[in-house]
Amino acid sequence: MAAIQNGSVVAVIGSGAMGSGIAQVAASAGHIVKLYDTRPEAVAKAIADIGAVYRKLADKQKMSAADADAATARLKSASSLGDVADAALVVEAIVENLDVKRSLFADLEGVVSDDCILATNTSSISVTAIAARLRRPQRLVGMHFFNPVPLMALVEVISGLATDSTVAQTVYDTAAGWGKNPVHAKSTPGFIVNRVARPYYAEGLRLLNEQAADPATIDAVLREAGGFRMGPFELMDLIGHDVNYSVTQSVFNAYYNDPRFTPSVIQQELVNAGFLGRKSGRGFYAYGEGAVAQQP
């Protein structure tokens, strides 16, 4: 099996931060992209935002105006799951919850053709478990992008125990065709990046808990002296605390409550408050006009 063919339909389920980024990259690569979300306003926003990005790229002459218009025209809104029946590849980027993802893929199996590949952008949940109740679990694979998707080259292609190796290779080749740097990995909790990154967040949160320094100081140290592109707090604000907290819980549970992965009460409280980071305008920092630095 080669990469998913240029021009074929790619469906993206979930039009939040990740889904809209994945849709942008797939449409740029020449696919017709169908976006579905339980909140239709999220789809409308994603299509409008991606169109604006393409126009900006055209203004900066990084893309021709004709290509920008053509890529925008390839973005289609799906009003129900039934609308994605002709997809060659479905990429799921919905809430980080095993039961919700399983239920979505069960519904998708009733809609798409037998040779359609089902991919999940889960950050941490077992791909084996997501696939387990499908009629054809061999066609489900992890396709794990990083935020912001158009800028981040890495894609982890995750095989569960049942994943067919040709399915994983097709997704790998597709990601490479989209200009990404894919890597194969087996399904382990948090895969590669989210496993290694957990202690980065956890130690930052422990430092904060012990009042060693404030988030801005810790971020600056890691960024300016440590050589990291972002400090742990600004990175958690970018990822979204709801997503990041769910990922920590999932890795912690999967590793039999290994204390190294213990979730933080500070982050739990941010989630309780709805201070989800950039996407809600407030997390460890405040965002938007007139924002002042916030401390949880």
Q: What residues are labeled active site?
A: 123, 144, 156, 194
d(CA 286, CA 237): 9
User: Contact 138/132 with Cβ under 8 angstroms?
Assistant: no
- Which H or E run contains 159? strand 154-159
**What is the DSSP-derived secondary structure letter of residue 7?**
T
Q: Where are the alpha helices (DSSP H) in the chain?
A: 17-28, 40-59, 65-73, 98-109, 127-131, 165-177, 193-209, 215-220, 232-239, 241-254, 265-273
| Residues at the interface with ligand NAI (CB under 6 A) | 13-19, 37-39, 42, 93-96, 100, 104, 121-123, 145-147, 239-240, 243, 247
User: Contact 273/214 with Cβ under 8 angstroms?
Assistant: no
Helix axes 232-239, 241-254, angle to 10 degrees: 100
Residues sharing a CB contact under 8 Å with residue 146, sequence separation 6 or more, in sequence order: 152, 154, 155, 193
Cβ of residue 82: shortest distance to ligand NAI, in angstroms?
13
Helices (H) and strands (E) in the chain, counts: 11, 8
Tokens representing 88 are 């060659």
